[in-house]
Structure 1
Amino acid sequence: MVGTDEEAVPEEHRRYWKYQQDLAAVDDRAEPALVATVLRDPDKVMAEAAISGHFDKRAPQLMQLGSAHFDQWATTMSPLIADHELPTRRLQEWTLLKSIILGHNWTPEEVVAASDWFQRRAVDLLIDADALGLLADQGRTRRVRSAADRKLRRREARLD
């Protein structure tokens, strides 16, 4: 925290940033224990935010390594986060994104019911015309619908 008065920063903020640093540097074998430790923090909201932020960095890295790496990680993380709503939902939504990206099974109902976060992220990451079309028609917000529609139009223009 360069340029800040350390004592002026609330303790939970300092712990959050420390957790973010530790999670970014953790190796695969030690990750489950660290996730469990973070989730035992007395500030449940901060702890869940730290883990969700970690998942937002870790999931895309694992997807690049392939479905098996991601699935193994998700299987390991699931019981650790089972009692924590935000990280559980985030892991479910990353799993849905992975399914769409890799052409695995997914349903329109899952995409429409997903959070605003998921729908915004999906528009950024997806190239699947069916999923983008669904978001252009039934996205939760005008922002999502417009972005999905623009992306579909650019995709169609490239295909012409």
Structure 2
Amino acid sequence: MNHHAPSPPEPAEHRRFRAHRSTLEQVADADEAGLVSEVLTDPDQTMAQSAVTRHLDRRATDLHHGPAYEPWAASMAEVVIGHPFLARRLQEWTLFRAVTLRQSWSADALLGSSDWLQLKAATAANTDVVELLTEYGRTKRIRRLSRTNGRRQSSH
């Protein structure tokens, strides 16, 4: 006789995480700020902020090249104001947008940014950014990626 213990039930926060991600993926633009606010009231703040981070990354990836980004980022900034990690992530998306669209940006802001943004910016087709990160990127990985990307850009 083969007795298998039943698998433990899935933790409630895992189910809520999936539910939050699913509703965030389907939300209409007009309802987005309200839904993000609602998700951020979840008692498991780590899980809620993780779901919102994924949402911000997905939306910013879709929007950062176009004019719809600015009003979207402004509305999201109001919603995440009490959540330092999310507010910073949104600021870094705005900096990444400036870098990729060759708008004005600050070397200090880029050098003070997270590894996440520096790695992302190291692959941007912006020679000034690549040169800055090749020299001053926070980690060896960022400096190496910038150097490789810089060589790739100069060979085109």
Common fold by TM > 0.5: yes
What amino acid does structure 2 have at the position aligned with 1:148? S
Are the aligned partners of 2:64 and 2:93 in contact in 1 as well (CA < 8 Å)?
Answer: no
Are the aligned partners of 2:99 and 2:121 in contact in 1 as well (CA < 8 Å)?
Answer: no
Q: In 2, Cα distance between the equivalents of 1:8 and 1:134?
A: 50
Q: In 2, Cα distance between the equivalents of 1:8 and 1:136?
A: 48
Structure 1 residues 7 and 69, CA, compared in 2 at 3 Å: closer, same or farther? farther
Q: In 1, Cα distance between the equivalents of 2:64 and 2:115?
A: 21
Structure 1 residues 11 and 137, CA, compared in 2 at 3 Å: closer, same or farther? same
Check if 1:57 corresponds to 2:58.
yes
Q: What is the TM-score of this pair, normalised by structure 2?
A: 0.92
Q: In 2, Cα distance between the equivalents of 1:47 and 1:115?
A: 21
Residues 16-64 of structure 1 show CA distances to partners (whole Å, capped at 9, x for unaligned) of 1111111111110111111000011111111111111111100011124
Residues 63-104 of structure 1 show CA distances to partners (whole Å, capped at 9, x for unaligned) of 24x1x3100001111111000011101100000001111111
* Match of residue 120 from structure 2: 121
The structure with more helix, counted as a fraction of residues = 1
What amino acid does structure 2 have at the position aligned with 1:23? L
- Consecutive unaligned residues of structure 1, counting only runs of 5 or more, are none
Are the aligned partners of 1:49 and 1:86 in contact in 2 as well (CA < 8 Å)?
Answer: no
Q: In 2, Cα distance between the equivalents of 1:73 and 1:44?
A: 23
- Runs of 4+ in structure 1 off by over 4 angstroms are none
Q: Show the 5 A alignment for 1:120-159.
A: 120-124=119-123, 126-158=124-156
- Consecutive unaligned residues of structure 2, counting only runs of 5 or more, are 1-5
